[in-house]
């Protein structure tokens, strides 16, 4: 059973957020520490997903509606947890009255985000040496 929580980037939750992002983005994808931890986490809305009491996924949304840092540990992928993280962030954006949310999707994940209601726009771009497409979703 999974549990999705909106959390603060505080001493209770930041160690789990950091560990997940370090495993996924830094160790698996080779993103540098400076790029991954950009100093914006304290002011971001954070989500953690737990399975059987263990944190296995995370994501964040900045105050301008930019969703990012969606990461699920390799051992728990393919279970719909990434979608739950994105849906929780979109629901929070809707609750807060945002007009839209947007993200930079790694090109391999474009279909994943499209199924969640995001639309790609613009040209492919590189971020941390990884190809991305900009995507957005307008909220009701």
Model confidence pTM above 0.85: yes
Count of domains forming the chain: 1
Which two tokens mark 114?
A: 């499209």
pLDDT digits 0-9 by tens, 15-64: 999 999 999 999 999 999 999 999 999 999 999 999 999 999 999 999 99
How confident is the model at residue 25, as a pLDDT? 94
pLDDT for 140 beyond 80: no
100: β partners: 138
How confident is the model at residue 2, as a pLDDT? 85
How confident is the model at residue 1, as a pLDDT? 81
Q: Which of 104, 64, 61, 120 is nearest to 86 (CA)?
A: 61
* Domain ranges, residue 62: 2-138
Contact 106, 132 (CB under 8 A): yes
How confident is the model at residue 126, as a pLDDT? 94
What contacts 24+ positions apart, CB below 8 Å, involve 97-100? Answer: 98/65, 98/139, 99/65, 99/138, 99/139, 100/65, 100/136, 100/137, 100/138, 100/139
Percent of the chain whose predicted confidence (pLDDT) is above 70: 100
* CATH value at residue 32: 3.40.630.30
């Amino acid at each position: 059973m999974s549990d999705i929580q909106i959390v603060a980037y505080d001493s209770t939750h930041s160690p789990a957020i950091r560990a997940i992002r370090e495993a996924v983005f830094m160790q698996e994808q080779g993103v540098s520490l400076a790029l991954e931890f950009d100093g914006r986490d304290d002011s971001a809305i954070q989500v953690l997903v737990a399975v059987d009491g263990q944190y296995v996924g995370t994501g964040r949304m900045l105050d301008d509606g930019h969703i990012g840092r969606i990461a699920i540990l390799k051992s728990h992928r393919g279970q719909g947890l990434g979608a739950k993280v994105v849906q929780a962030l979109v629901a929070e954006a809707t609750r807060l009255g945002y007009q839209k949310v947007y993200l930079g999707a790694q090109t391999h994940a474009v279909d994943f985000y499209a199924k969640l209601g995001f639309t790609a726009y613009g040209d492919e771009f590189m971020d941390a040496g990884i190809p991305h497409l900009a995507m957005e979703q307008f909220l009701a």
